[in-house]
Structure 1
């Protein structure tokens, strides 16, 4: 694999992109890629010929973006250009330009192992080679020279040369295949409609395939026929369930055709499940790529199937919102991602048989948003994206989950029909173009008859999360007065932030049999200041539990009164969405050191039998483990973890069926055992027995979670682990082995894993792929015996060189994953803890370090300080 340090001019700024847009208007790319030697591991690069036609300001100069291995030749308007002089790091200078231009570049690009650009994967099951591309936000420049910014759209004509037996695909439909030599063909694909570079895509390998066809109509009666395709690695074909995926795809297309009233505009609709994928999926028009974790080779819960459906429909939403109409620059990344996150969930709820889309959203998706929004690095939903490094960092919980939550609140504010009417008008006006927030607000204002700027300023241009609480007074056993309060502070400025909320306040009544409290009533409330009266609660019996934000309509943390919180944690609520919302509020209280982690866990134990949604169950059980391992005092932690493990073991043994519940319990148990210092030997013996017990039917993912657990406690050696992987060589077992080997409680093992992470290479010098780098970090961080401690100083000495040497995606894994955070509160003052002091000293002395690197450190430091505060509160 070719080693190239990151060029100093790799980080394109917004101002540079805007200046280039003023000079250039792109028309068409012809991209000819040769993958014919991809199966040869000794070949690190592939040839590319790129032809670009574009208009420009006569006499001006500009540049192309390219992160390849080498440029062989450049021809601009028929004249040869000195490549050595034109190529400067990540850029190729062009000029002087004519009004109409054609540039032809012959180059060599690099096969990726990081999931950025064209990723090459060799299947451990059969040795077959697979290629796919991933370009967002700006990794297209790793494949071919281009103007890699979203507003310079063009049509793309692609040809790919590859093994004749391989499945080869791109955005456009396959037009022709021509023999080049024995066993090699050149495939030509249809010219696309205008689109941005980041959604171009390329695929090649012996993928298994399935085909179908969709027929339907738009809301206005336009007939639509779309060829459908599915593909995955051949070794996974027996695990692929194409009928379910096709069914969800067809239902989704029906829903979007009704909701958007615009026929699917991209010809075919292929969905391919690819290995070692950094994302859940990517909305490449005509060829959506998805993580092959959605090809279930192990027992999969209903929540996993629902999550896959959500991802399928999220990406489908992008065919219109993001692909047909695209943001001008990454400042408005939120507009496409938040929209797809919200509308994708809405489509799952309304178009499929899954009934828990909104409970999963309330419990899991919003937890991501709440956490991200409380960091010092939080940002408004409409972020200030000054450069590409910032864009890459902003694929975060604000851009996706908070934005989606706010759009759900917007839909409650103006009405869902109005919201979708605005979307239809937006597509009709801006199809094939680029837009900003103002364009969407104009469409929304026209549809609703309101000026939406005030709403947008309150929700989209400020940061931080509000808190909602209901305050009551009680007389003679009933509520005598009630008020809904909100407060909020922008973490960046310290300024108060109050927003307009449309929500419901729910009332839940206790039952005679000590079962969960039953829904009794809900009252709509609208608040845009600090407080409002809730007269509907006056006269309600004081033994009722009151739930702010019942139905999870708005985005806010909820602070329940002591009585209502006790009801939630002791008896529970009888409504699934209310229960998810209330437990999410309780978890936020744990993170804020307002509720002891052990009290939260007691509530989870008391109510886990009530939780029907396996996604919510998995979330709260994981939060329970995290709370005990992170937010409890050292003198209590191991005893609490031991009790937690004992509960989980008993719960697994009490559930003999291969149910969703047992699958979730097993995953939680293995994670908890990796946190416990000294699990009793019988528990490890039980885990070992489960691996070979056919009645347990663990499947390969849980089996390797079990092996990692044993390895972390010294109960499985290297030979045994390697033998287990050799017996069933798959992608899952390969990364499982890497994680298990790094988890072993041996100082030399930990040192080797740490060095592998910092260098991005294994001990034998092989480049670690994205999945294997992550598995190495994950295994290294599993350290119940503490043998890997004491290397904090090395972290601060090496992270800048890691940032400069590895790709941003790989470097982010290392910097975030190895941050020294295994801290115990000493005197209650988090600011004097040595790990806190070291992080603050690095930040103060590295003001000029890349902002994306500093952001990771700032966020991990905030996690550390929150951990220490919660520990101090737990020990009081």
Structure 2
């Protein structure tokens, strides 16, 4: 039986008896351009000491293991498909493993992509949390750090990259061999290799005697769209900021950033070779919010060079030790060091929305989570670990002060550089510099789950009480926060004053004068759902868009959305506020989030009897706002995208959609390939574009993105036969890449056409266990989540959960989460006024 799912206990036992020092990895990628070749030779030599054991296992998932040599002696190959058993160990050991790895199409391990534009082949690795074993034999756990030396043979003329710069290059006929300098001690999951004819732009960052070579790379066919100058500018600004903030020089020698195809994540913090999704390269128009999001991701990954790479969590329980910090630091650095000064407004409106949603699921967990195995770790890259953790760190900064926080970070890096840590290590350091006992704070914030709600009540004697409630909490949390008081003056909401206070009780009496808008948690210092009282709700209904501060507007939008999701604010009232004030929203980051929330509310929170009318109304809202937006503005582009999305659910503007595609677009609107595909897919979804029309668009955009978009458009056509084909392909076509599987699933769900797909509900529940067992976790997760039935009741999912209590915990978690999303939809619909 293959034992791919590593547990915390067994890996802790391994690291207690095995200390790895050096790992050499030899990869032969010369056969990668051959489409029929499925694997690549990989040879790993591991040097380690063994204390008190003569046997261990080494992790590897590939096509086969051909040879195992222990201290110069050939040994029988004992390999179960995930683990290589090694026996007869001495105190000092050198183990050489010769194997064949498998090229990936799922984005896990060594992903191979053939570019349809020019026929070129591109490779890159993605490992977190545990896929380096798909490329090399290794000790696949974060607390077994080693110095890695990569030796890569690849076709001549290719860019070949790893964590370090090349130490030696050997040229041959049609090939090249590059031996890279050894790394400093790092975990296996942040090693990296990329190879292919990538286009490259070079730069440099200097500070005193330190000179860091910078590189920005992407596929050659995308090079014309690469905004390398801005990426390099943000990179230099980030290195300036973090070098000063952390007082620890960037330790990894070089800083390459490569944008790669079919990527599962936003980015990955491999030291010296950061990988990013190509979604950050726009082939046409882009809003400033998109560029701000890219800058935030660049800085998030850069923060990891210290939080995560230099100092690494011991096991995945403390994943937050890197992700929460990077999410906080990326936003902080964006606001402090780049032109994207609205980063905290976008965080409050979008990232925290992700956290609030995740924290209200049955699967919510403490920021410091209990992660017994790798499957659980894979699913914990979620809104709790990232956005809630970052929100709580912002509260910690308010609690101990910014100076103490950064001084604590400096001491933490100095003390634990190249090591592994736990929560206690960080708390000890922060407590020392802040002269604060943080144990109670950590218990309240890091080791509990759930989100508190804050609202104001007026007592019988007129005094105000600030109420904190969280149904999952035994004790109230401590909050440092501000309350903003705003007055309506000549139709505008204007700040009068802010009152700062600390609370740690369920009910706290506060001395507040009356105001037209009372904004709890002004400046967004704490993590809580802040409710608006009726007077405040009436004021923002009238004048939300007149608030000058984008962060304040973001907090109001967030409060409205949370109340809508909780069924406390009628969906129709929320949509009315959006119709009134979204066209006047000047922050493109906020506007993008508001439009997404409005579309979601129409699709999920309207009742069966009102949904068609609300879809039509929302389509008209987007069309009208598109007509009224300033030509060439970010808002115009955002409304055009919202119009395209809405047109997939209501075809009353199909003529206008076709007119835009035919060249009659609103003045100033850039009609790039991606917007064209959004519009055409909307027509396909509503039956106004056939396969021939879709093929013609593909001929116009014969790129990798175009081919994926064509697959999505074809899969979206509204016939039972097409949706049946989608269903069958998603479950059975193992040649579909990760992006192509998403396209098929997206087509199957397109337009909210339950009438075309409800007949597959029962089959879904009969398939998911076998899919989980047979497919990689990345692809299985997409199937389980993407094809979950949006039924009108919970009967079928409850029956499956009752009958499958022995299913893998990670699979049950996904199903339970999807059940909760559906239950919320049903609950919010039922709460709508008649």
Instruction: Specify the TM-score bucket, using the shorter chain as the normaliser.
Output: over 0.9
With over 3 angstroms needed to count, the CA separation of the structure-2 counterparts of 1:683 and 1:37, relative to structure 1, is: same
Whether the aligned pair in 2 keeps the contact of 1:370 and 1:465 (CA below 8 Å) is: yes
1:788 Cα deviation (Å)?
A: 2.5
1:654 Cα deviation (Å)?
A: 2.1
Matched, 1:200 2:173: no
Whether the aligned pair in 2 keeps the contact of 1:299 and 1:699 (CA below 8 Å) is: yes
1:364 Cα deviation (Å)?
A: 0.4
Residue deviations 1:511-567, cap 9 Å, x none? 22x23x1111110010111122221x1xx3x45210100111100001111111121
The residue aligned with 1:133 is 125
Residue deviations 1:828-867, cap 9 Å, x none? xxxxx2xx01101111111110111101100000011110
DSSP 3-state at the match of 1:26 = strand
Matched, 1:403 2:389: yes
The residue aligned with 1:557 is 529
Matched, 1:796 2:754: no
1:474 Cα deviation (Å)?
A: 9.3
The residue aligned with 2:177 is 186
For 1:467, which of 433, 441, 453 is the aligned residue? 453
1:684 Cα deviation (Å)?
A: 4.2
The residue aligned with 1:749 is 722
The residue aligned with 2:443 is 457
Residue deviations 1:323-369, cap 9 Å, x none? 00000000000110000000111011111011210000000000000
The residue aligned with 2:469 is 487
Query: Any residues of structure 2 matched to 1:774-813 within 5 Å, and which?
Result: 774-785=742-753, 786-813=755-782
Whether the aligned pair in 1 keeps the contact of 2:654 and 2:683 (CA below 8 Å) is: no
Q: Take 1:784 and 1:695, find their aligned partners in 2: how far apart are those partners?
A: 32
The residue aligned with 2:321 is 335
The residue aligned with 2:686 is 713
The residue aligned with 1:829 is none
Matched, 1:158 2:163: no
With over 3 angstroms needed to count, the CA separation of the structure-2 counterparts of 1:631 and 1:41, relative to structure 1, is: same
Query: Any residues of structure 2 matched to 1:328-407 within 5 Å, and which?
Result: 328-407=314-393
The residue aligned with 2:832 is 874
The residue aligned with 1:63 is 57
For 2:203, which of 199, 209, 212 is the aligned residue? 212
Matched, 1:507 2:485: yes
Whether the aligned pair in 1 keeps the contact of 2:478 and 2:505 (CA below 8 Å) is: yes
Matched, 1:839 2:797: yes
Whether the aligned pair in 1 keeps the contact of 2:522 and 2:552 (CA below 8 Å) is: yes
Q: Take 1:757 and 1:615, find their aligned partners in 2: how far apart are those partners?
A: 34
Q: Take 1:38 and 1:502, find their aligned partners in 2: how far apart are those partners?
A: 56
1:637 Cα deviation (Å)?
A: 1.2
Q: Take 2:204 and 2:664, find their aligned partners in 1: how far apart are those partners?
A: 42
Whether the aligned pair in 2 keeps the contact of 1:328 and 1:436 (CA below 8 Å) is: yes
Matched, 1:251 2:237: yes
Residue deviations 1:119-139, cap 9 Å, x none? 001112111110000000000
The residue aligned with 2:10 is 16
Q: Take 2:687 and 2:166, find their aligned partners in 1: how far apart are those partners?
A: 53
The residue aligned with 1:726 is 699
Q: CA RMSD in A?
A: 1.5
Whether the aligned pair in 1 keeps the contact of 2:523 and 2:552 (CA below 8 Å) is: yes
The residue aligned with 1:617 is 591
With over 3 angstroms needed to count, the CA separation of the structure-2 counterparts of 1:16 and 1:690, relative to structure 1, is: farther
Whether the aligned pair in 2 keeps the contact of 1:700 and 1:732 (CA below 8 Å) is: no
With over 3 angstroms needed to count, the CA separation of the structure-2 counterparts of 1:156 and 1:142, relative to structure 1, is: same
Whether the aligned pair in 1 keeps the contact of 2:570 and 2:833 (CA below 8 Å) is: no
1:497 Cα deviation (Å)?
A: 4.2
Q: Take 1:458 and 1:314, find their aligned partners in 2: how far apart are those partners?
A: 26
Instruction: Give structure 1 stretches of 5+ with no counterpart.
Output: 1-6, 218-222, 762-766, 824-832
TM norm structure 2: 0.98
Whether the aligned pair in 2 keeps the contact of 1:569 and 1:600 (CA below 8 Å) is: no
For 2:581, which of 604, 607, 621 is the aligned residue? 607
DSSP 3-state at the match of 1:782 = helix
For 2:736, which of 768, 776, 779 is the aligned residue? 768
The residue aligned with 1:220 is none
Whether the aligned pair in 2 keeps the contact of 1:632 and 1:875 (CA below 8 Å) is: no
Whether the aligned pair in 2 keeps the contact of 1:57 and 1:97 (CA below 8 Å) is: no
DSSP 3-state at the match of 2:454 = strand
Query: Any residues of structure 2 matched to 1:693-708 within 5 Å, and which?
Result: 696-708=669-681
Q: Take 2:701 and 2:599, find their aligned partners in 1: how far apart are those partners?
A: 30
Whether the aligned pair in 2 keeps the contact of 1:489 and 1:497 (CA below 8 Å) is: no
Query: Any residues of structure 2 matched to 1:842-857 within 5 Å, and which?
Result: 842-857=800-815
Q: Take 2:624 and 2:667, find their aligned partners in 1: how far apart are those partners?
A: 19
Q: Take 2:515 and 2:112, find their aligned partners in 1: how far apart are those partners?
A: 61
1:655 Cα deviation (Å)?
A: 2.6
Q: Take 1:543 and 1:549, find their aligned partners in 2: how far apart are those partners?
A: 15
Matched, 1:422 2:408: yes
Matched, 1:231 2:242: no
With over 3 angstroms needed to count, the CA separation of the structure-2 counterparts of 1:225 and 1:684, relative to structure 1, is: closer
Residue deviations 1:567-611, cap 9 Å, x none? 123211332111111111111111111111111111112111442
Whether the aligned pair in 2 keeps the contact of 1:568 and 1:579 (CA below 8 Å) is: no
Residue deviations 1:166-216, cap 9 Å, x none? 000000111221124x21011110000000000000000000001111111
For 1:588, which of 550, 562, 582 is the aligned residue? 562
1:694 Cα deviation (Å)?
A: 9.1
Residue deviations 1:408-467, cap 9 Å, x none? 000011111111100000000000100000000001001101111000000011100000
With over 3 angstroms needed to count, the CA separation of the structure-2 counterparts of 1:414 and 1:626, relative to structure 1, is: same
Whether the aligned pair in 2 keeps the contact of 1:138 and 1:198 (CA below 8 Å) is: yes
The residue aligned with 2:498 is 522
Q: Which moved more, 1:304-313 or 1:464-473?
A: 464-473
Residue deviations 1:31-71, cap 9 Å, x none? 00010010000101000111000001254311011111001
Q: Take 1:337 and 1:447, find their aligned partners in 2: how far apart are those partners?
A: 23
Q: Take 1:292 and 1:783, find their aligned partners in 2: how far apart are those partners?
A: 26
Whether the aligned pair in 1 keeps the contact of 2:366 and 2:446 (CA below 8 Å) is: yes
With over 3 angstroms needed to count, the CA separation of the structure-2 counterparts of 1:407 and 1:695, relative to structure 1, is: closer
1:690 Cα deviation (Å)?
A: 5.3
1:683 Cα deviation (Å)?
A: 4.3
Whether the aligned pair in 2 keeps the contact of 1:462 and 1:497 (CA below 8 Å) is: no
Whether the aligned pair in 2 keeps the contact of 1:332 and 1:437 (CA below 8 Å) is: yes
With over 3 angstroms needed to count, the CA separation of the structure-2 counterparts of 1:190 and 1:509, relative to structure 1, is: same
DSSP 3-state at the match of 1:290 = strand
The residue aligned with 1:828 is none
Q: Take 1:125 and 1:656, find their aligned partners in 2: how far apart are those partners?
A: 35
For 2:163, which of 171, 184, 189 is the aligned residue? 171
What is the aligned length? 831
TM norm structure 1: 0.93
Whether the aligned pair in 1 keeps the contact of 2:647 and 2:653 (CA below 8 Å) is: no
